[in-house]
Structure 1
């Protein structure tokens, strides 16, 4: 009876892993579409005659491009590693997102301070994770 349940569990797990991989590929295709759409917008902004009025639109398009690029990189990494993504990679994505937010956020000083403190905390966390990963590599 125990072996039978174990086999059912393995089949369900294999089905869910396949479904997860298919979903990741579909999301990757959609993100790729939006990535190229942002590239198109960047080219139209670059060829525009009146660049003073579309400066912020171009900046928003550039930031959106990098956001889509980071998500696509995350999906590719996840597919390559069968659903596993390293903590240092996720911390790097968070750090770049916060830096991008810091560049565009100008509403309140308190918000800027919170974002800056978050960046420092992420840098501290990345340092700890990288030291731990380096220590594990030397042990092997």
Structure 2
């Protein structure tokens, strides 16, 4: 009996460790978000005065910005929803990441088609997850 009582606190300790680590991750992601914002501002400023060869780099950086933003929003939602990660936020992040991949690396048409199919699958999963949540709410 005494042995099992000692381990009842383990989930709470692990939850506290997870919360601290997620908080530190949110701080690191916030710093990277600020850094990315500064890079985008510099890129726009430089593109006003100099001819830029390709805007693909800017678009890729902008999507990285949104990835940081979505991960921070996911962590915020985790704390607001009683330590639960909503599935739809992971789907948002996945769609954004694949769109960035398509924009950055679109040399082979067949791989772009497969990535587009992956986006379609994630959109279908998002639709199913939202239907499930709306059914459970009623």
- Shorter-chain TM-score: which interval? 0.7 to 0.9
Q: Deviations over 1:38-88 (max 9, x none)?
A: 111111112212141463443332122112111111222222234311222
Q: Which residue of 2 aligns with 1:47?
A: 45
Matched, 1:110 2:110: yes
Retained in 2: the 8 A contact 1:45–1:51?
A: no
Map of 1:37-116 to 2, 5 A cutoff?
37-48=35-46, 49-53=49-53, 55-116=55-116
Q: Which residue of 1 aligns with 2:8?
A: 10
> TM-score when scaled to structure 1?
0.84
Q: Which runs of 5+ in 1 are unaligned?
A: none
Cα distance, 1:31 vs. partner?
A: 0.7
Structure 1 runs, 4 residues or longer, greater than 6 Å off = none
Retained in 1: the 8 A contact 2:67–2:96?
A: no
Cα RMSD, aligned residues only: 1.9
Retained in 2: the 8 A contact 1:91–1:126?
A: yes
SS in 2 for 1:52: coil
Retained in 2: the 8 A contact 1:45–1:54?
A: no
> TM-score when scaled to structure 2?
0.85
Q: Which residue of 1 aligns with 2:18?
A: 20
Cα distance, 1:136 vs. partner?
A: 1.2
Retained in 2: the 8 A contact 1:70–1:93?
A: yes
Q: Deviations over 1:13-59 (max 9, x none)?
A: 11111111110011111111110001111111122121414634433
